[in-house]
Every structure is written in structure tokens, then in C-alpha cells.
């Protein structure tokens, strides 16, 4: 039994509405994924910067003739939450000390923290100490 003057949605109209809704939702999903990736990168960058600053502050507070400031390169491996060694490490911190640079009685100190995230990323800090 059909009544005159009553109209409903056709199957085609419903399909078009669903298609438009799916397109809109997939756009929102893409934006959400990019936001999550951006937040993750920011967290890793902040952690790496903090690890580099911590090491630089420790080194700058050492006496000029400290054995820790002998020329050379040392590494330590960190997981970002604590410096518990190589187990579960995903940050590599490299300390490089160069004697007589840029002049005599001076040392250049470089701290580099690197990690893998869509390729190798790194944060580098440099300073010069004098006797």
C-alpha cells in the first residue's frame, strides 16, 4: 500500500550520502595520524635536547684538566627515561673533545644525541672551554 505524496530516499541518494561521509571521515583520520606523528617527533626531539644539555652541563662544570676532558670521543646509550645502559637504548649520545681548538689552551666540546625515527635524526651542542 502506497500513499500519494509520500517520498523517501532512493538507494542512490543513500549511497551518495555514505560516500561523502566516508571521504570526510578518511580526511579526519589522516589529520589525526599526522598529529600523532608530529607529537611523537616533538617528544623525541625534546628528550634528545634535554639529554644533550644535561651532558653539556656536566662537562662544563669539570675542571679544565679533568681526565673526562681529554681529547677523543666517548659514547653512551640511553633509553630516554633513564641512563640504564645499552638495554633498550634508542638514543646515542656522543661526546667529542678537541684540544687546542680554536686556539691554544682551549678545548672544543661537542655533544651529539642521535636516534632513528624515519631516518637518523640528531641534536648537536657545542661549546669552548679555556684553561
Contacts of 14 (CB under 8 A, 6+ apart): none
What is the pLDDT, as a whole number, of residue 89? 59
- Strands 106-116, 91-99: pairing is antiparallel
Using pLDDT thresholds of 50, 70 and 90, give the confidence band for residue 9.
confident
Beta-ladder partners of 130:
106
Cα separation, 92 vs 103, whole angstroms: 29
Q: Check residue 3 and give its pLDDT.
A: 60
> According to DSSP H, which parts of 61-107 are helical?
none
What is the residue-averaged pLDDT of the chain? 88
Give 19 or 101, the one with higher predicted confidence. 19
Region 106-123: what's the mean pLDDT?
93
pLDDT band with cut points at 50, 70 and 90 for residue 118: confident
Phi and psi at 70, nearest 5°, equal -70, 150
Question: Measured between alpha carbons, how far is 57 from 37 in angstroms, rounded to an integer?
Answer: 30
Give the pTM.
Answer: 0.75
Helix (H) / strand (E) element for 59: namely helix 11-60
Strand-pair category, 72-78 with 120-130: unpaired
pLDDT per residue over 28-82, tens digit each?
999 999 999 999 889 889 999 999 999 999 999 999 999 999 999 999 988 755 5
Name the residue with cell 644525541: 113
Amino acid at each position: 500500500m502506497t500513499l500519494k505524496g509520500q517520498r523517501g530516499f532512493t538507494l542512490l541518494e543513500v549511497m551518495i550520502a555514505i560516500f561523502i561521509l566516508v571521504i570526510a571521515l578518511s580526511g579526519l583520520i589522516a589529520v589525526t595520524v599526522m598529529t600523532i606523528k608530529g607529537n611523537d617527533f616533538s617528544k623525541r626531539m625534546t628528550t634528545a635536547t634535554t639529554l644533550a644539555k644535561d651532558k653539556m652541563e656536566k662537562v662544563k662544570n669539570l675542571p679544565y684538566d679533568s681526565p673526562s676532558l681529554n681529547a677523543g670521543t666517548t659514547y653512551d646509550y640511553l633509553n630516554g627515561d633513564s641512563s640504564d645502559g645499552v638495554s633498550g637504548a634508542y638514543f646515542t649520545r656522543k661526546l667529542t673533545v678537541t684540544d687546542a681548538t680554536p686556539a691554544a689552551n682551549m678545548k672544543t666540546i661537542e655533544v651529539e644525541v642521535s636516534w632513528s625515527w624515519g631516518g637518523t635524526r640528531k641534536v648537536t651542542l657545542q661549546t669552548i672551554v679555556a684553561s
